[in-house]
Every structure is written in C-alpha cells, then in structure tokens.
Amino acid sequence: MRFIGLDVHLDFCEIAICEAGRVRSGGRVASTPEGLQMLADSLGPDDHVALEATGNALAIARLLEPHAARVVVAARKELRAITEAKVKTDRRDARTLARLLAAGLLGGCWLPDETTRALRRRLARRAQLVRQRTRCKNEVHAVLMRNLKGRPPMTDAFGKRGRAWLTELELPGDERQTVDGCLRQIDFLDAEIAILEQAVAELALGSQDIKRLMTVPGVSLMTAATFIAAVGDIRRFPAPGQLVSYLGLDPTVRQSGSGPARHGRISKQGASQVRQMLTESALVSVSTAGPLRAFYERVRATRPPDRHRRRRAQARRALLAPAHPRAGLRVRAPVANAQEAPPARTPRRRRAPTRKARPPDQEHLQPARTPRTRTRALPAGRNRLPPLSRRLESHRPGEGGYGRDTGARISTALQSAPSRRITCVRVESRHLA
C-alpha cells in the first residue's frame, strides 16, 4: 500500500510517496489532462492519494478516482503543518501530505456531484454580480451627496420614477456621465442576474428538497438553493448538531480541566453566504405570524434585559431540516456531556413594581430628610491623609493624639530640662522608628 501526496500548482504537481514508513520524492507531472492521465495509469488499486483543496483540485480528483483506492482532498484547516511551517517548499509540502495521509490524519472534504457543482458556480456568479450592482448604486448615491441633492423622494431610486428623477437633475458634465454610465451598468447586471435566476429556478423545479424548504416562512428560492448547494446530500448528516457545525452556526466552546464550559459566539466555519441567507430568512420568518414567531417570542421573553444590547432572541441552535415537512425548524438536542453544557443563568434582581398614583386628596408630602453625614472616618492608608480633626489635634501642644509627625513634641522637649530632654528625644525616636 502506498500513500501519495500531491502538491498541486497551476502548471505542475509535485509528487511524494510514502511506502513502508519511508518517504521519497516522485518527481513532477504537468497539470494537464495528458500528464495527469500518465499519473493515473501508474497508480495501483491499493494506492491512496491526497492533495490540497485548490481551484483545480476537484478536476484532478475526478481523473484519479477510477485508478486509486481513495482520493482525499484535504481542507486548509487540516494542513496546519504546511501552512505554519518555517521551511516551506513544494517537495516538503508533498512529503508532509504523504505523511499525514499515512498516519490517518486527513479526513478530507466532501466532493459534490456535478449537479451540485453547477448550482454552486451559478450562485457564486450571481453573488458577484449582485456585489457589482451594489457598487454602481453606491456610486450614484455618492454623486448625489457630493452635489447636495439630498435623499431621493421615492423608495427605489433606480426604478421607473427614480430613473425619471435622476434624469431631470442638474449635474455637472462629469457627474452626469458617471450617473448615466452607472445606470447602464445596472441595466446590464440586472439582465445577467435574471438569466442566472431563471436557470436556478429551472433546477429548483426538479428538486424536492428545494421545494420543501420553500414552504418554510421566510425561505425564498435563492435561500433554499444556496442552502442545498452548500449542504448537498442531507443524509450525510446523521444528527442536527453536525449540520449546525458544518454551517458554522454552533457556538464556540472553551473548557479545560474541571472548570465549567464557556460558550462564545458562533464559529463561522462554514460558507458565509449560507449564514447570510439564513439570517435574512430568520428576520422575515419572525415577523410573520406562525410557530416560528411564537418560538422567537418565547426565547426573547426568557432573556434577561441588558443595557448594552437590545433584547433579542439568539436561536443559534435552530436549523432548517428538510427531512421534516411539518417542522421547518428543529431545535438542536442538548449536549451529551453535562460538563460541556453552558452554566445555568444566575437569577437577577427583579424590578420593583410601579406604585399606583394616589388621588390628589390623598397625596401627602414626606418630611424632608437631613442629608447623610459620614459617621465613621475612613482609615488612613499609605496614600491617604489622616482625617482633619486628628490632624488638628496633633498640632495642639501637650495633648496626646494620633500622628505627631510635625515636630511639635521634639521642639517642646528641647525647651525643657536636659534630663527630660534626653528622655523625650528617646521616646520620640522610638515613636518615629
């Protein structure tokens, strides 16, 4: 059995072979269909191949899968030994891949089928076009701000009424060219986005999972398609918690020793576009009457008030479950280990109930209270002076008191008899010591 590591580049692939516990270099092959086919023909039925997830890694894996026992496409988080290495070359990276594969430390990422890959590419291109359209609209708003035109009098400044209002504005020549050019770009991008959305809609008509997700309030066509494109086959997640973790919606956990677990914000390990779509759908679903809004209100009512943030519900353990047509959301089950569970909330002091206003005839004025005075003097610390009364007592000659550090006792002793003077000086030296 051989374990082969491939360091993939645009022009070539560096090869390393681990066999019987020894690692050796296997040279290079060109990253072309012909060169990769030569590599595939040299593989045996018991060989295992590992390569890093790059732009052309999926195409290379498809060519090598029929000729090898297993092809692993390693994710970036599994290759910390390569990304954080002090000495990094192509040959060392390929050898590190072979060693990790031989040790069983590479789990690999899921390779989608061609239908899911096509859906991912369409959605990625649509997201790029939407961002370009947003840049053009922001540029038009910047022109309005520079020329003190204020806010548009309509909701959509790029609709039919908004286009007429933008045409009638008096702008300098260069600013008018900018606005007209941005409007032409917006029209072109709208047409391209419509073509992609039509292709996604045709694909959704033949997908039962997408149509089932669209029955959930707040889930649109793009949200359901983005979710299915990122997840793929829902059956590869046996538990809801695994799907939550795959999308990066699970909270981070810090726990060591016998101490309690500390839960933080979500991990954000999955695709960011899916989390954005799910957030938008959640905002729509909680504003619609139904079981999801009731769940939101119940979670919101149990949260204690916080002055630094609004009272909002954080249902980060809820997830879309297309396997259940009735319940669009399923609450994640509690953790199995009690030590990893979040600590119970401490009961907070409730606000005092508001008193009812008395009738005018029953109102009475309370007597004015005298202001509180300090009955106990604070102790004199290293950086705090003694109280004023004790400081004044220390200046009175012939009286005992606290803090005789002004020299009054020494001067009194020097004016007295010699024998008494010596005694007093000795007492003062002991006192100062």
Alpha-carbon distance 232 to 429, whole Å?
88
- Which residue is it, tokens 């030569």? 38
Contact indicator for 227, 212 with CB cutoff of 8 Å: no
Report pTM.
Answer: 0.65
**Euclidean distance between the first and final Cα of the chain, in Å?**
85
Distances (CA, A) of 422 to 214, 218, 282, 412, 428: 102, 96, 89, 12, 10
**CA torsion angle 212 217 223 224 (round to 10):** 0
pLDDT tens string, the chain, 433 residues long: the values are 899 999 999 999 999 999 988 999 999 999 999 999 999 999 999 999 999 988 889 999 999 999 999 999 998 888 888 888 888 899 999 999 999 999 998 988 888 888 999 999 999 999 999 999 999 999 999 999 999 999 999 999 999 999 999 999 999 999 999 999 999 999 999 999 999 999 999 999 989 989 999 988 888 999 999 999 999 888 888 888 889 888 998 899 988 888 888 888 988 888 888 998 888 888 888 888 888 888 888 888 877 665 445 444 444 444 444 444 444 434 344 444 555 555 555 555 555 555 555 555 554 455 555 555 555 555 555 445 555 555 555 555 554 444 444 555 545 555 554 544 444 444 444 444 4
Non-local (6+) Cβ contacts of 329 within 8 A are 216, 292, 295, 318, 319, 320, 321
Contact indicator for 39, 29 with CB cutoff of 8 Å: yes
Model pLDDT for residues 94-127, shown as the tens digit of each residue: 999 999 999 998 988 888 888 999 999 999 999 9
Give the number of C-alpha atoms closer than 13 A to the C-alpha of residue 256, restricted to the C-beta side.
1
If residue 60 lies in a helix (H) or strand (E), which one and from where to where?
Answer: helix 57-64
Distances (CA, A) of 46 to 1, 66, 233: 5, 12, 28
